[in-house]
Amino acid sequence: MKKLFLVAIATVGFVFSGTAQESQIKVGLDAGIPMGDIKDGSSFNLGANAAYMWTGVAEGLDVGAGVSYNTYFAKEIEYFDGFENVKEKGDNANFLPIYATANYSFTENIFAGADLGYAVGLTDGIDGGFYYQPKVGYQTEMFEVFIGYKGLSSEQTATFDDGFGGTASITATTVFSSINVGFNYKF
């Protein structure tokens, strides 16, 4: 799946490199509030991203490829382990999304876009998965500000003491998601 996705991004890049009139690089940051499956276990999401865009592919349409680094910061959680209440902070969940991106400009300053790809899991016990981020925003020639919904579907494995001198593990699919606000500088 990962290899197929990377080949698809490269193919799109080669196709659009011959038809686009200009290109642009965007780098930026985004921050968000965790939602859904992880809202109780994560306090904050922070991401840094870079994208190469082919502008003017069609009127108002820019497409490209990007990469980002995302962290979902873990909260301290209190639970009852069968004998006593325990407070424990898990590991932060770190991902490296690799994605195709597109923006459509409705006016000179208002746009909508989406990022779609694969997020590589960088934290032990958390695999990668499908990555998506629809967004809307305001842009100028030098920067853009946006609000988006970031999500990625990941398999997560937890290993724990089974209480009988051994260990047990549970694997489940978790959707890491957040409402984010971001800023990208264009050059």
- The whole-number average pLDDT for the span 70-78 is 90
| Token pair listed for 117 | 């790809």
Determine the Cα–Cα distance for residues 151 and 31; give it in Å rounded to an integer: 13
* pLDDT value, residue 9: 52
Please give, one letter per residue, the 3-state secondary structure of 45-74.
Answer: EEEEEEEEEEEEEECCEEEEEEEEEEEEEE
Tens-digit pLDDT profile for residues 135-175: 999 999 999 999 999 999 887 777 777 778 888 888 778 89
Residue 108: pLDDT above 50? yes
Residue 11: pLDDT above 60? no
Residue with tokens 């499956």: 37
| Token pair listed for 170 | 């549970």
Contact 156, 128 (CB under 8 A): no
Neighbours of 19 (CB within 10 A): 10
Degrees (nearest 5) of the Cα angle 114, 42, 137? 25
Whether the predicted model's global pTM rises above the 0.85 cut: no
Tens-digit pLDDT profile for residues 30-52: 999 999 888 988 999 999 999 99
Query: Positive or negative, the Cα torsion across 14, 19, 24, 27?
Result: negative
Contact 21, 56 (CB under 8 A): yes
Confidence of residue 105 (pLDDT cuts 50, 70, 90): very high
Residue 20: pLDDT above 50? no
Q: What are the angstrom distances between the C-alpha of 129 and each of 2, 5, 25, 54, 98?
A: 9, 12, 25, 26, 11
131 has which bridge partners?
117, 152
